[in-house]
Amino acid sequence: MIQKDILQFLTYLKSAQTAQKYLEECYEKNEIKEANKYSYENSDRFLYYLEHGLQFYEAGKASGITVKPILYFYGMVHLLKACLLTRKPNYPENTAMLAHGVSTRKRKKQDYAFLQDEVKVQHKGLFPYFVKHLYHMDRIPYEKIDMHKLLVTIPELNELFYFHTGKHPLIKVSHLHEKKVHIPTVLLDHYHLTEESLLEKLMKHLPDVEHVNKVDSSLEIELSRSLTPDSKGPFFFHMEESAFFLPGKRQYFLSSHEVMHHYLILYNLSMICRYETEWWGDLLHTMPTEDYPFIEQFLSVTSEKVPILLGYFLLNEKGVR
């Protein structure tokens, strides 16, 4: 149901008049001066960011896997810029913001493994800018991060990791619209924390905790309002199950938003497409390593999930949800 609502809302925005009205409401909500003026100035640009972004995704779905990462990455970039315009009417304030804000390390030609590859976050560019202004994070909780750790946080890949390792890296703890989070007490061992320390760690990321009860082999945390698809980590939203998952091990505990993780993975894959064509071609045609199923499944998930997550942001920014 939530996906249907978001897609209908994105359709609603497909006119200069509705885009202008929507932006004006966003600017007024965010107490931006001259909301009417900025909404008229930005409505066409906002509309084109959305239109072009969604067209990149459609083109990616219709294309072979060889070029999907490039098309999805630039589709995501356009949708992010549309989201930024709802809060930053003067975006981009300078040319430094036009850079991607991420870099990849120099690759080794032998024994390269995508799951172990890293990306490095830059101080300037689109990535740190949208992290700050869309998700209110002044400090990104990592300078470098590997693909495995990012992929683990995507709930739709949970079963694939289970097939690979025999264990689920994420644990289901809540459902959409449910005002309770159920934390299995087995996590105390996995996180090497006491009950009090684990609750203290989790409550920093939960909206308005009211009560904590111990029920059988789990801690039941009652909330005054439920988690949402726009919630940051360590609670990650499974789109098909309308449920929230928490990393089962301490090393996978990330407080960043899943949208950030998709951006970093897609950036890396798009760079590989363009500049590591031999490795990319071998991967796609001979499928020699464990990287292939994870990349293929990720591309399938991200093509549907990122437009929904960013569409939810736009819907929520209006104050509808």
The pLDDT value given to residue 109:
63
pLDDT of residue 73: 98
pLDDT band at 107 (very low <50, low <70, confident <90, very high): low
What are the Cα distances from residue 183, in Å, to 30, 118, 186, 221, 251? 35, 30, 8, 8, 17
Predicted confidence band at 320 (pLDDT cuts at 50, 70, 90)?
Answer: very low
Helix (H) or strand (E) holding 147: helix 147-152
Instruction: Write down the pLDDT at residue 317.
Output: 84
Per-residue pLDDT of 131-170, as tens digits, reads: 999 999 988 989 999 999 999 999 999 999 999 999 999 9
Residues counted in the chain: 321
**Phi and psi of 124, rounded to 5°?**
-130, 155
For 166, half-sphere exposure in the C-beta direction (CA atoms, 13 angstrom radius) is 0
Residues forming beta bridges with residue 129, ordered by sequence position: none
Residue 190 has pLDDT above 60, yes or no: yes
pLDDT confidence of 286, banded at 50, 70, 90?
confident
Residue type, 155: P
What confidence category does residue 199 fall into, taking pLDDT thresholds of 50, 70 and 90?
confident
Out of 54-58, 87-91, 194-198, 296-300, pick the least confident: 194-198
**pLDDT of 6 strictly over 80:** yes
Please tell me the distance from the alpha carbon of residue 145 to that of residue 165, in angstroms, as a whole number: 21
pLDDT value for 319: 57
pTM attached to this predicted model? 0.95
How far is it, in rounded angstroms, from Cα 102 to Cα 236? 23
**Share in percent of the chain as helix, strand, coil (round to 5):** 55, 15, 30
CA atoms of 115 and 280, how far apart (whole Å): 14
Tell me the pLDDT band of 127, cut-offs 50, 70 and 90.
very high
**pLDDT score for 198:** 87
Asked if the model's pLDDT at residue 321 lies above 50, the reply is no
pLDDT of residue 183: 92
Q: Residue 70: name the closest of 259, 300, 309, 269 by CA.
A: 269
d(CA 177, CA 175): 6
